[in-house]
Amino acid sequence: MKDGFRQSMAWLHTWSGLLVGWLLFLVFSAGTAAYFRDEITLWMKPELHQAAHTPVPQAVALGHAQALLARRAPTAQRWFVTMPSEREPAVRASWVPAKPEAKDGAAKDAKPKGRRRFESAELDPATGEELNKPRATRGGDFFYRLHFDLHYMSPIWARWMVGVAAMCMLVAILSGIVTHKRIFKDFFTFRPAKGQRSWLDAHNVTAVLALPYHLMITFTGLVTLMFLYMPWGVQALYPSQDRFFTDLNNALPADARPAKQAVPLAPLAPMLAQASAAWDGAPAGRVTVNFPGDANATVLISRQSGRTIGYDQPDMLFDGTSGRMLSSTRHTGAATTTRSVLYGLHIARFSNPLLRGLFFLSGLAGCAMVATGLLLWAVKERQKHAKRLAHGGRHIGLRLVDGLNLAAIAGLPVAMACYFWANRLLPAAMAQRPEAEIRWFFIAWGVTALVALARPTRRMWQAMLAAGGVLFALLPVLNGATGGAHLVTSIAHGLWPVAGFDLVTLALGGALLLAAWHLQKPAVLKKPSHKPLAAEAA
């Protein structure tokens, strides 16, 4: 009976993993990259690498941003100031331009659905000088969005697909734990160069050693989109989801209106000081001014993220004309806090680089787990039908899986690297540049996929891994050659986000090249039984 249960779990594990494996590999890879979303974005804007990196008091940085906003966008509906941090040295001032009132109805029809256009400028926090307008790019946000919205399709459909894949992943993890008979005995075991045995070992090791992470990231991933997957609770209590999110995020209600009466904005520095004092001196992360210069102006200051696990940061709302505090954070309910912690665990916007590094490492283990699982299926299947295949028999399913494996596992790194190369090779002032960069990503992936499906051979694996490795390993050179801060400068100046990007891509490139080199050796499937290591050493 027990064996029967284990076998049915093995079946479940195989199919729940295989059918969504390729999508999961994309989600895991892009999601892992997204831990360094800000660093990737900074790397992709080499114009900002020169920003002064001396910390200044927040009030100074905010003052510079306010001066620029008052000059450039006095009639804007809303101002946002993103305060400088260790990860983003520049201070960013953005604004939503005033609504064109007369043709409200016409504008609604003309504009596709989506977020309203922001305009923004980035400043040196110490001098207030506007930094050279950086090239337009989606930067690391592309990977962040890609990992749940995919691309070239409706985000809602994409989120459902990713949700189904994540649910399958959760099933695969739990059934995998049941299937794995020797979890503790094989805890540290990896036996290389033994065919199927090695793939199974690698799959087990990358799964078991990061198991808390895999369970956490899959579950919390589902939680981040729970209002989409399970909207009924909200539907029962709120007339619309928008209203619910306004409440949840302490945002300005959509029906708030300016008074159309000019009153100067109260000084922001005292509000900043009051908020920071209430948070035991923690710095502010974002300052939002609604209806600046109007009698109904309000100022919302929220704390810099990264001090806690939770995603929601405490904030404070001030009257924009008197500077009086109106309210401070209302998220205190147990349910909101739970969601905030689960959400925060998933996106890991911790201030601590060590912690983010550990998440990145675990994410890589996740990619390896999915990849080895997919390869293991192909290896097993090939062995099962070895005789038939040796006599020229065909196995359509196996060939398809082989092709998809190659396209996903070796093709995706090529596509990612091409995205970074496009960032530096396309002309900086090109129109619709962000879309062009993304097109390079998908063209590269499309080409590798076609080649992979046509010829899923060992040589092709080698060629594609080597291509990805070379493209990744040369990124630091490209960075130095196309206006970025090259490794020597970035390390000397302590510009760690940029130096870190270069070092990590160098390491990833090295790993891919090592894998390609490893494939050079002839297949070792029928090796004589392994001698004990002690005897070898003697």
Q: How far is the CB of 58 from another protein (least distance, A)?
A: 21
Q: How far is the CB of 198 from another protein (least distance, A)?
A: 10
Give the CA distances from residue 47 to residues 53, 134, 135, 421, 523, in Å, rounded to whole numbers and listed in that order. 14, 5, 8, 16, 48
The residue count of the chain comes to: 538
Q: How far is the CB of 361 from another protein (least distance, A)?
A: 6
- Decide whether 50 or 198 has the Cβ nearer to another protein: 198
- Decide whether 458 or 530 has the Cβ nearer to another protein: 530
Question: What does the block give as tokens for 53?
Answer: 């990196």
In 3-state terms, what secondary structure has residue 387?
helix
Instruction: Name the nearest CA neighbour of 357 among 39, 7, 124, 92.
Output: 39
Instruction: Name the nearest CA neighbour of 437 among 413, 454, 417, 457.
Output: 417
Which class for 444: exposed (0-12), middle (13-18), buried (19 or more C-beta within 10 A)?
A: buried
Question: What does the block give as tokens for 524?
Answer: 């070792």
Q: How far is the CB of 79 from another protein (least distance, A)?
A: 32
Beta strands per DSSP E along 51-172:
78-82, 91-96, 119-123
- Decide whether 254 or 538 has the Cβ nearer to another protein: 538
- Decide whether 17 or 366 has the Cβ nearer to another protein: 366
Q: How far is the CB of 386 from another protein (least distance, A)?
A: 27
- Decide whether 103 or 191 has the Cβ nearer to another protein: 191
- Taking the C-alpha atoms of residue 360 and residue 354, their distance in angstroms, rounded to an integer, is 10
Give the CA distances from residue 400 to residues 78, 424, 450, in Å, rounded to whole numbers and listed in that order. 52, 35, 12
- Decide whether 136 or 309 has the Cβ nearer to another protein: 309
Neighbouring-strand partners of residue 532: none
Binding site for another protein (CB under 8 A): 185, 187-192, 205, 209-210, 212-213, 216, 308-309, 345, 350, 352, 354-355, 358-359, 361-362, 365, 532-535, 537
Q: How far is the CB of 345 from another protein (least distance, A)?
A: 7
Written as one string, the DSSP assignment of 321-357 is TT--EEEE----SHHHHHHHHHHHHHH---S-HHHHH
Q: How far is the CB of 538 from another protein (least distance, A)?
A: 9
Question: What does the block give as tokens for 81?
Answer: 């100031």
- Decide whether 222 or 365 has the Cβ nearer to another protein: 365
- Decide whether 73 or 348 has the Cβ nearer to another protein: 348
Instruction: Name the nearest CA neighbour of 476 among 448, 510, 428.
Output: 510
- Decide whether 105 or 532 has the Cβ nearer to another protein: 532
CA 34, 205, 175, 10 torsion: positive or negative? positive
Matching residue, tokens 């992709």: 44
Q: How far is the CB of 211 from another protein (least distance, A)?
A: 9
- Decide whether 226 or 309 has the Cβ nearer to another protein: 309
- Decide whether 254 or 354 has the Cβ nearer to another protein: 354
Give the CA distances from residue 275 to residues 59, 287, 300, 325, 458, in Å, rounded to whole numbers and listed in that order. 12, 11, 10, 9, 60
Instruction: Name the nearest CA neighbour of 476 among 503, 444, 449, 512.
Output: 503
What is the distance of C-alpha 461 from the center of its chain?
Answer: 26
Q: How far is the CB of 185 from another protein (least distance, A)?
A: 7
What's the half-sphere exposure (Cβ side, CA atoms, 13 Å) at 297?
Answer: 26
Q: How far is the CB of 298 from another protein (least distance, A)?
A: 32
Are 40 and 140 within 8 A, CB to CB?
yes
Residues 6+ apart with CB under 8 A from 95: 69, 72, 73, 76, 77, 78, 79, 80, 118, 119, 120
Q: How far is the CB of 467 from another protein (least distance, A)?
A: 26
- Taking the C-alpha atoms of residue 417 and residue 437, their distance in angstroms, rounded to an integer, is 11
Q: How far is the CB of 191 from another protein (least distance, A)?
A: 8
- Decide whether 308 or 462 has the Cβ nearer to another protein: 308
